[in-house]
Structure 1
């Protein structure tokens, strides 16, 4: 019975999160200028370099699937506050432009 309860809780958690957080695959690879044109000026913008000492929170831990934490990749992190949800996009520099490496859309009530 305990095993079934844990399984049901896991399934519920995955399904409820999948409704609240959506990976925006269609944005990957686009240039920063294209994203700003699409969504307007971001409400917040951060820039940091990946390194061993950086604190990665649940919301940006996905960067570890692209880069090792001890790399020196420069990241730009832009957020748009929309009605009922937020859009967060991470960029890295390639050649002379900043390109999307990952992007998510999540409901306002999601807590990371």
Structure 2
């Protein structure tokens, strides 16, 4: 009798996940959210309205934030097909080349 369940009984030994690895993705996501929310996350909500004069501040900040969300949506929709088509090497090499150009231009790797 085959019993599949949260303990992994009935699955081949190589298919069973180790308990430590089950929490790793959750910990990584929580770490990303925490670091983003204490660094660049809130900056757009504070800095964008300060760019505009008071009489147009609300409307201009609203337009900027709509574009921010639209670009986030575009990245979320485009990235998975690109990842499937080119693999994980394409985003990694793009990031590496951008950081190399910054290093050459600035003499150090700014954040």
The structure number with the bigger radius of gyration is 2
TM normalised by structure 1 equals 0.27
TM normalised by structure 2 equals 0.27
